[in-house]
Structure 1
Amino acid sequence: MCGRFAQYRSRDDYFDALGIDDDELIYDPQPVGRYNVAPGTRVLLLNMRDEHLHLDPVFWGYGPEWWHKQPLINARSETAPTGRMFKPLWHHGRAVVPADGWFEWKKEGSRKQPYFIYHQHGEPLFFAAIGKAPFDKEHGHEGFVIVTSASNKGMVDIHDRRPLVLRADAVEEWLSAETSPERAQKLTEQAALPESAFRWHPVTKKVGNIHNQGEEMIQETAETS
């Protein structure tokens, strides 16, 4: 986790859910329309620069020059604040991915069934993220990763990790340069939505192909083969 998610609502919907009133933001009622977002693509990322909020398209993945493997796409909330790879990003590159849900694959017999996981009341989600700032500049494969937390109960039958979803009222504090790294770590513990806030249902296996897009990717299905 997290290897695929959906970001299909409009900017307006995400901003309204956050209660944002910032003249610097570009509002747009047109849906983003991405039902099957994959690593290695550019994703709209909410971040703060010069005391204003911005939404920039940023590469999903992080691989600095000394990293000779595939770019990483997730960072564990328990180790990211202090680890060699992610500590600088935790200090100076906190961001948020506005999303509508994410996908997980559960092993059922000899097959894997994809599930779509979303807010129980259908509300937008805000994934904690860290990356290479400033996000309006090109950094190659030094993009961003989604912060994950342990799924200790309730969702362990789907996956043992999940994106760390922040409450809407904690997003601006997470993004603020005034928030210390230590306080940011506290937010991951105190301001994350619990497993009980989510629901999930099986979806088509076509979601496994990144070329498949459209609302059918998130619709519940009885497909089992």
Structure 2
Amino acid sequence: MCGRFTQYRTRETYLDELPGDIQRTIVYDPEPTGRYNIAPGSRVLLLNQREDTLCLDPVYWGYGPEWWNKPPLINARVETAATGRMFKPLWQHGRAVVMADGWYEWKRVGNKKQPYFIYPASGKPIFFAAIGKAPYHQASGKEGFVIVTAASEKGLVDIHDRRPLVLRADAIPDWLNPATHPGQAQEIAHDASLPAEAFSWHPVSVSVGSVKNQGAALIDEADRPLG
């Protein structure tokens, strides 16, 4: 799953990873976003496409339509998102991307949980596949977005059995394009996502468990991890 992540670089650093020929209406901002502990229920800068233009909107992380009488969902399984009742309309008309640097997962150690920061070995920005209620600039209430997840593999399984679906930067224009057929989007999710071996990870301080805690120290390797 994905329940916490970071988005701390400047928006220009993320956007520079995308193909250069895509049109955008995003205002230039050289200031770092500076978010080291993003939790569900907060608003997140979300890349999406309206008509032929790339847009960036602050959108609620979570999705719960009016008939949903439970807490908003924050993730959607790639294996079922395109066909299930809840997410099929979002997969068809609300594909988006979350700009990120890495994410946190917790591993049980005895009766406690050790948090880990998982990040690309390349050190480059990453992009989570997301789906939600478009158009995003008109989003209201708790009909926001969810992060698409895939099964973990190799060493990542030891930390958690699910992980965010991270798309290659060159696949993002087709993923966002409203003209991309849902079946084609499934192919992109399968063929253009980064494998487990593209990531590294290390234990971090348990202080990341509180959303009140922020700052770059949260992603530093813990001196004395649990266990």
- TM range, normalised to the smaller chain? over 0.9
CA distance in 2, matches of 1:142, 1:185: 23
**Is the 1:132–1:139 Cα contact (8 Å) retained in structure 2?**
no
**Aligned residue type for 2:204:** V
Q: What does 1:106-125 align with in structure 2 at a 5 Å threshold?
A: 106-125=107-126
Do structure 1's residue 99 and structure 2's residue 100 form an aligned pair? yes
Following TM superposition, by how much is the alpha carbon of 1:23 offset from its aligned partner in structure 2, in angstroms? 4.8
CA distance in 2, matches of 1:130, 1:86: 8
The residue number in structure 1 matching 2:12 is: 12
Following TM superposition, by how much is the alpha carbon of 1:108 offset from its aligned partner in structure 2, in angstroms? 1.6
**Aligned residue type for 1:60:** W
Q: TM-score, normalised by structure 1?
A: 0.97
Q: What does 1:26-41 align with in structure 2 at a 5 Å threshold?
A: 26-41=27-42
The residue number in structure 1 matching 2:224 is: 223
Q: Deviations over 1:74-122 (max 9, x none)?
A: 0000000000000000000000000000000011222110000000011
Q: Deviations over 1:50-94 (max 9, x none)?
A: 210001000000000110010000000000000000000000000
Unpaired runs of 5+ residues, structure 1, are none
SS in 2 for 1:171: helix
The residue number in structure 2 matching 1:196 is: 197
**Is the 2:24–2:55 Cα contact (8 Å) retained in structure 1?**
no
The residue number in structure 1 matching 2:169 is: 168
CA distance in 2, matches of 1:186, 1:121: 24
CA distance in 2, matches of 1:70, 1:161: 20
Q: TM-score, normalised by structure 2?
A: 0.97
Unpaired runs of 5+ residues, structure 2, are none
SS in 1 for 2:156: coil
